[in-house]
A = this chain, B = another copy of it.
Amino acid sequence: VRFVVVAGNTQTATIEGISAAGANPAVMAHTPSADLEIVEYGRPILAPVVPVSPTGCPTPAAVTRAAIELLDVEFAAVDAGLARRTAAPTVRVGQRPGRDIRESVPVPDARDLYDAAREFGGALPDDELVVGETIPGGTTTAMGVLDALGERSGVSSSLPENPLSLKREVVAEALTTSDTAAGEMAGTPLEAVRAVGDPVLAVVAGLVVGGAESGKTVTLAGGTQLAAAAAVVRHLGVDAPLTLATTSFVTADETAAIEALAADLDLSLTVTDPAFERGNHVAMDAYLDGEAKEGVGMGGMLAVLSRRGVPMADLRDRFLAVYDRLAPESTADR
């Protein structure tokens, strides 16, 4: 198994109230760079932020890192367009972050990103790819693409209260700017990514198609953003079998309607529950309260753990150990 995390930024994330991935815009820009460092090294080493929310909710990268420490998997980070440097080694596919989707052409090079990622995904020597993402604001751009393609566009959120009406407003404005309407880009998904998406969606779609074409088993590790990437793949006419592996926190989010979306897109759905228990630790409580939910491949790594018979109790212990490395002042009984 090779685990690939596609990282990038979109200016869409700076719209107030859109994302919880980072306490404020300045921090948020660093979040995907820090996420890659957490997965690679166990903590941020040069990124100047630790993505832990004001309530103590750590980035899902902490769960993913915990899983990786329990598993023997290869890891590759892909830079689809990061705004800030990262000290994690990356395969550089993209050159720049996406712009705010309310501007025209937020991802001008969507097709080039897709092509380069497809080539890379096809060339990887592994039998199985598990592909995740980290991009603040990514559920809004996912909604934009799902809408443009005419797919169900309920999306999840890293916030306990999903700011869905704000997202719908932003997407409506984005579609208007691009002089299109819901469903009008069905069948031309790279056009949709170019007009109302983000660079990570283009790169994930390319990796998935390149991987599937070369005979690899491909798992989309995430929630509605990965489903949006799958929608791009399906609208390109690729009908390879694909699995969407997400967390129980996403399926608990009714606004996401992930089961219906997965069914629409002919994706097998794997849902894994890490069995966090309330009252044990602030970090677990935050997830149980609906913060973060998914990201950085968390659902996919939980699925690999489960498939290999690693007890979730081990994952929970390791998660707290990673958390203490991230936020050393915290204690389990605080």
Query: Which chain A residues have a beta carbon within 8 Å of chain B's beta carbons?
Result: 41-43, 45-46, 76-78, 87-92, 119-120, 123-125
Contact = CB atoms under 8 A, between A and B. Distances in A.
B90 A124 contact: no
Nearest to A90: B89
A46 B77 contact: no
A89 B87 contact: no
A87 B43 contact: no
Contacts of A125: 41-43, 45
B45 A87 contact: no
Contact of A89 (B42, B91, B123): B91
B76 A123 contact: no
A92 B91 contact: no
A45 B124 contact: yes
6 contacts: A43-B125, A77-B89, A78-B89, A87-B123, A89-B91, A90-B91
Given A87-B120, A89-B89, A90-B91, 7 more contacts: A41-B125, A45-B123, A46-B119, A76-B89, A77-B89, A87-B91, A90-B92
Contacts of A77: 89
A8 to B, nearest CB: 15
B91 A88 contact: yes
B88 A41 contact: no
